[in-house]
């Protein structure tokens, strides 16, 4: 008889570090960030294009907030990541663990084994930041999540279109009783008709899901990869769009990327 071997999934990471969350519902809280490599979208405004492809190595902060990074080769194992996260978890320092990227759900089999372990060792809530376009992967990790921030991609700004997947994704989160919010990046190119469609989509799932309009942060010369200009919206546009969406859902908040103002990672 041939013995069955179980292959433990591995992951390709970009970095692990401790910092202040600058976006959405958790803004201002301190999190342990786990940034996964690889993304299958190509948003025009992406400031993390370095995460799109499988990186050969990752940067791991040794002490929370000290930026004393060590470099390790990818892929990495579950036990390595558990060790790196637990050593960051000094008593009472962090509010939660952020899974970000890239697209973390491209590592769903890894997360399904990693999350229960890290949750029981740290007792920290788990927050997922996602493009919200992969509802088929979400059920694998839903039982281990506490909150989800879903980017709803507006085609006029992002160049991506995933309306059906976004709706399925939100419904799955709601059915699992997770804390959810939706983030929409807006620029001068935003089509108000798409914002109306987005607000109506969210209302169909639940009108109490907060929507965060996030004025795009213009990219630096080295971050630019697309010919499409990425310009922050005008003050009047933001007010007009918030009023438009407020007709559909209870909360529409406008918050720029505050971690950039604080010079956080």
Rounded Cα–Cα distance for residues 197 and 116 (Å): 36
Nearer to ligand SF4, 53 or 56 (CB): 53
**Binding residue for ligand SF4 (CB under 6 A) from 20, 25, 39, 157?**
39
Nearer to ligand SF4, 21 or 89 (CB): 21
Determine, following the binding rule CB under 6 A, whether residue 99 of this chain makes contact with ligand SF4: no
Q: Is 28 annotated as a binding residue?
A: no
Determine, following the binding rule CB under 6 A, whether residue 154 of this chain makes contact with ligand SF4: no
Contact 97, 34 (CB under 8 A): yes
Contact 155, 44 (CB under 8 A): no
**Binding residue for ligand SF4 (CB under 6 A) from 43, 85, 138, 201?**
43
**Binding residue for ligand SF4 (CB under 6 A) from 10, 27, 29, 41?**
41
The two tokens of residue 167 are 């709706």
Rounded Cα–Cα distance for residues 97 and 249 (Å): 28
Q: Is 22 annotated as a binding residue?
A: yes
> CA-CA-CA-CA torsion for 22, 123, 175, 243, nearest 10 degrees?
-20
Q: What are phi and psi of 31, to 5 degrees?
A: -130, 155
First-to-last alpha carbon distance for the chain, in angstroms, is 52
Determine, following the binding rule CB under 6 A, whether residue 67 of this chain makes contact with ligand SF4: no
3-state secondary structure of 172: helix
**Binding residue for ligand SF4 (CB under 6 A) from 21, 31, 51, 122?**
51
Q: Is 21 annotated as a binding residue?
A: yes
DSSP string over 215-261: EPPPPPTTT---SS---PPPHHHHHHHHHHHHTTSS-EEE---HHHH
**Binding residue for ligand SF4 (CB under 6 A) from 55, 75, 125, 131?**
131
Nearer to ligand SF4, 94 or 183 (CB): 183
Say how many CA atoms lie within 13 Å of 82 toward its Cβ. 16
Please report, as residue ranges, which positions from 100 to 129 form the binding site for ligand SF4 (by CB under 6 A).
101-103
Span interacting with ligand SF4, options 41-49, 85-93, 176-184, 227-235, rule CB under 6 A: 41-49
Q: What are phi and psi of 164, to 5 degrees?
A: -65, -45
**Binding residue for ligand SF4 (CB under 6 A) from 48, 188, 223, 258?**
48
The two tokens of residue 146 are 């506490």
Q: Is 175 annotated as a binding residue?
A: no
Nearer to ligand SF4, 44 or 94 (CB): 44
Interface with ligand SF4 by CB under 6 A: which residues? 39, 41-43, 46, 48, 51, 101-103, 131
Annotated binding site for substrate: 20-22, 35, 100
For the annotated binding site for Mg(2+), the residues are 48
Known binding residues: 20-22, 35, 39, 43, 45-48, 100, 102
């Amino acid at each position: 008889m041939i013995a069955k071997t179980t292959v433990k999934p591995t992951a390709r990471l970009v970095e692990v570090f401790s910092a202040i969350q600058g976006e959405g519902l958790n803004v201002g809280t301190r999190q342990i960030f786990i940034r996964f490599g690889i993304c299958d979208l190509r948003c025009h405004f992406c400031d993390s294009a370095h995460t799109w492809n499988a990186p050969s190595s990752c940067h791991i902060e040794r002490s929370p907030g000290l930026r004393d990074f060590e470099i390790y080769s990818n892929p990495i194992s579950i036990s390595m990541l558990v060790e790196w996260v637990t050593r960051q978890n000094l008593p009472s320092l962090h509010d939660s663990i952020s899974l970000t990227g890239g697209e973390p759900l491209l590592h769903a089999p890894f997360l399904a084994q990693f999350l229960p372990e890290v949750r029981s060792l740290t007792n920290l809530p788990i927050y997922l930041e996602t493009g919200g376009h992969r509802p088929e992967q979400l059920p694998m990790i839903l039982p281990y999540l506490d909150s989800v921030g879903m980017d709803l991609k507006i085609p006029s700004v992002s160049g991506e279109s995933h309306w059906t997947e976004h709706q399925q994704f939100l419904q799955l989160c709601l059915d699992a009783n997770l804390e959810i919010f939706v983030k929409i990046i807006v620029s001068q190119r935003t089509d108000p008709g798409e914002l109306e469609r987005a607000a109506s989509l969210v209302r169909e799932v639940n009108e109490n899901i907060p929507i965060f309009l996030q004025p795009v942060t213009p990219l630096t010369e080295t971050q630019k990869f697309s010919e499409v200009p990425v310009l922050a919206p005008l003050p009047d546009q933001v007010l007009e769009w918030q009023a438009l969406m407020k007709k559909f859902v209870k909360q529409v908040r406008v918050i720029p990327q505050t971690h950039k103002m604080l010079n956080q990672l």
